[in-house]
């Protein structure tokens, strides 16, 4: 085996391979031996990592004759893609944790796996330690999945949880998440929702057997989530979470639906919903399938050891396949469903408005909603005079109609400020 990258995840992979060598050999039937570890800075001290295995020649390592499985934990697009393709071309199987690459150009990797008969396993790429891709890829492959909904980014969940429970500031909470090894090398990927969007693309592709890339995913991060949003959610007995949502959009006829909606954004969910109790850097994902019903997957979605657990699970599976001469499953994206634009997705909004406290304001505001065919579920006035606020929660409507309504509200004389806008997901609040 060859290991590419020896950072947070790679170091833990090396530790587990050493500590569990005997058990792993017994489970596979042959010892799992590391032939080399490609690193950028060999001089760096890495506890428990044998120096004699380190090399800066990743290209040379992946094509060595005594390597038949390559573990990629470098991350990013290049050189990870070229190295994995090189490995597969020379008949090696690949285990990777690289969601960014799988979501951007998974098709190239899957095509190479098919062409060269190589295994490509990537359980660690989504929701870290949680077995989620294997259940979708294998256990649920006979079912018809309607929806995948969850919290798939540990860093942002940690930040939102600290803001909710301790009133922590954004930067302070981010620094803690980085120190704990949850954040990506560049935390922009986490806080701007790129990491969750990549995972949503991978999940949607597996769930709906349809090609979905990161560029297809509607993405909003958490950098705009304010203390007012978090407080507003509290008032509603709700909590703000960064959600990844992949769902079939029903059609008048046909089982597959009109297409799929794949999106990532912060949203309010009621505190009574199981996702609301997902704290710190934990992840949780609901899968709703026609025959299986609702399934929930919960656990550690980030961090060196949990991610390494998923990598080792894949490694054992691939090693067993190699021993048995039977390759693992290959992705099939036969369904080719369109990914629908966000504007057509039906969502619900929570809107908090600072308004002039005088008669007729409520009617003017309500009229704007009606004009855009948005039906109001509940409206409440808080405070009076200069401090008057209206809190409006809508029923489901096309997202485009809701955003237009909010823009129109901003321009009304009676509305001093739109203080908070947040989508509402899960059960009715
Ligand atoms: N940390 C987590 O919680 C976590 C969870 C799930 C998946 N992942 C994924 O695992 C992968 C690794 O993440 P990480 O947290 O260990 O990152 P990291 O930045 O700690 O480690 C990556 C290592 O790769 C090295 N590297 C970069 N270019 C290289 C090259 N050309 N050759 C050899 N080494 C090179 C870097 O120097 C670094 O040490 C990423 O794809 C990430 O998205 C991480
Ligand atoms: N940065 C990612 C790592 C796990 O993929 C997270 O915070 O969830
Ligand atoms: Na996983």
Nearest CA to ligand 1 atom 4: 302
pLDDT in tens, 46-73: 999 999 999 999 999 999 999 999 999 9
Are 9 and 72 within 8 A, CB to CB? no
Task: Compute the average pLDDT of residues 4-22.
Answer: 97
Cα–Cα distance for residue pair 372/155, rounded to 1 Å: 37
Q: How far, in Å, is the centroid of ligand 1 from the Cα of 345? A: 35
Residue bearing the bigger pLDDT, 226 or 1: 1
Q: How high is the pLDDT of residue 385?
A: 81
The CATH number of the structural domain formed by 345-424 is 3.30.70.260
Nearest CA to ligand 1 atom 18: 7
CB atoms inside a 10 Å sphere around CB 120:
25
- Residue 427 pLDDT greater than 70, yes or no: no
Closest CA to 378 of 366, 360, 364: 366
| Nearest atom of ligand 2 to the alpha carbon of 283 | 8
pLDDT confidence band for 325 (50 / 70 / 90): very high
232 lines ligand 1 (CB under 6 A): no
pLDDT confidence band for 35 (50 / 70 / 90): very high
Residues labelled catalytic: 199
Cα–Cα distance for residue pair 11/17, rounded to 1 Å: 10
Q: Structure tokens of 412?
A: 């009304």
95 contacts: CB under 8 Å, gap ≥ 6: 69, 70, 71, 72, 121, 122, 124, 311, 314, 315, 318
Q: Is the peptide bond before 69 cis (omega within 30 degrees of 0)?
A: no
Q: Which ligand is nearest to the CA of 202?
A: 3
Task: Compute the average pLDDT of residues 356-361.
Answer: 86
- Residue 276 pLDDT greater than 60, yes or no: yes
HSE-CB of 232 using CA atoms within 13 angstroms? 28
The DSSP element (H or E) to which 376 belongs, if any, is strand 376-382
Q: How far, in Å, is the centroid of ligand 1 from the Cα of 6? A: 7
- Residue 282 pLDDT greater than 50, yes or no: yes
Q: What DSSP line would sit under 24-87, residue for residue?
A: HHHHHSS-----EEE-S-TTS--TT--GGGEES-HHHHHT-TT--EEEE-S-SSTTHHHHHHHH
Cα–Cα distance for residue pair 378/31, rounded to 1 Å: 63
126 lines ligand 1 (CB under 6 A): no
The CATH number of the structural domain formed by 133-300 is 3.30.360.10
Cα–Cα distance for residue pair 366/360, rounded to 1 Å: 10
284 lines ligand 2 (CB under 6 A): no
The residue behind tokens 């044998």 is 50
Domain positions in the chain: 2-131+304-324, 133-300, 345-424
pLDDT in tens, 78-119: 999 999 999 999 999 999 999 999 999 999 999 999 999 999
130 lines ligand 2 (CB under 6 A): no
| Nearest atom of ligand 2 to the alpha carbon of 126 | 5
Q: How far, in Å, is the centroid of ligand 1 from the Cα of 275? A: 28
- Residue 428 pLDDT greater than 60, yes or no: no
Q: Which ligand is nearest to the CA of 184?
A: 2
Are 148 and 293 within 8 A, CB to CB? no
The CATH number of the structural domain formed by 2-131+304-324 is 3.40.50.720
Q: Which ligand is nearest to the CA of 98?
A: 1
307 lines ligand 1 (CB under 6 A): yes
Q: How far, in Å, is the centroid of ligand 3 from the Cα of 191? A: 20
pLDDT in tens, 114-164: 999 999 999 999 999 999 999 999 999 999 999 999 999 999 999 999 999
Q: How far, in Å, is the centroid of ligand 2 from the Cα of 409? A: 37
Q: How high is the pLDDT of residue 429?
A: 38
| Nearest atom of ligand 2 to the alpha carbon of 307 | 4
309 lines ligand 1 (CB under 6 A): no
14 lines ligand 1 (CB under 6 A): no
Q: How far, in Å, is the centroid of ligand 3 from the Cα of 326? A: 23
Mean pLDDT of the chain: 95
187 lines ligand 2 (CB under 6 A): no
Q: How high is the pLDDT of residue 387?
A: 82
Q: Which ligand is nearest to the CA of 308?
A: 1
């Amino acid at each position: 085996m060859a290991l590419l990258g020896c950072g947070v995840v790679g170091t833990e992979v090396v530790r587990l391979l050493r500590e569990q060598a005997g058990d792993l050999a017994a489970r596979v039937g042959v010892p799992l031996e590391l032939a080399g570890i490609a690193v950028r800075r060999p001089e760096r001290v890495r506890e428990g990592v044998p120096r004699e295995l380190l090399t800066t020649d990743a290209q040379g390592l992946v094509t060595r004759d005594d390597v038949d499985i390559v573990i990629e934990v470098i991350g990013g697009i290049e050189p990870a893609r070229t190295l994995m393709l090189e490995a597969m071309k020379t008949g090696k199987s690949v285990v990777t944790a690289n969601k960014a690459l799988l979501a951007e150009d998974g098709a190239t990797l899957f095509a190479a796996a098919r062409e060269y008969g190589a295994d490509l396993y990537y359980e660690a790429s989504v929701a870290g330690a949680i077995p989620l891709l294997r259940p979708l890829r294998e256990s649920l492959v006979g079912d018809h999945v309607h929806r995948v909904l969850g919290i798939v980014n540990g860093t942002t969940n940690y930040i939102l949880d600290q803001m909710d429970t301790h009133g922590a500031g954004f930067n302070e909470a981010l620094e803690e998440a980085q120190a704990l090894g949850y954040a990506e090398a560049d935390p922009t990927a986490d806080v701007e929702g790129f990491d969750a969007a990549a995972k949503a693309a991978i999940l949607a592709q597996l769930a709906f057997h349809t090609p979905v890339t990161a560029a297809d995913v509607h993405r909003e991060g958490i950098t705009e989530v304010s203390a007012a949003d978090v407080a507003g959610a509290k008032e509603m007995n709700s909590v703000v979470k960064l959600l990844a949502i992949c769902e079939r959009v029903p059609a008048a006829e046909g089982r597959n639906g009109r297409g799929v909606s794949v999106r990532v954004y912060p949203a309010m969910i009621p505190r009574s919903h199981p996702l609301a109790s997902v704290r710190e850097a934990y992840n949780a994902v609901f899968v709703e399938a026609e025959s299986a019903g609702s399934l929930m997957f919960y656990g550690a979605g980030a961090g060196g050891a949990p991610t390494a657990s998923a990598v080792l699970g894949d490694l054992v599976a691939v090693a067993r396949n190699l021993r048995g001469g039977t390759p693992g499953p290959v992705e099939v994206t036969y369904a080719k469903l369109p990914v629908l634009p966000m504007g057509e997705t039906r969502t619900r909004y929570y809107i908090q408005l600072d308004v002039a406290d005088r008669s007729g304001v409520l009617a003017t505001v309500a009229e704007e909603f009606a004009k855009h065919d948005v039906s109001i579920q509940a409206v409440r006035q808080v405070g009076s005079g200069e401090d008057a606020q209206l809190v409006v929660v809508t029923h489901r409507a096309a997202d485009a109609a809701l955003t237009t309504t909010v823009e129109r509200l901003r321009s009304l004389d009676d509305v001093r400020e739109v203080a908070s806008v947040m989508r509402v997901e899960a059960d009715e609040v």
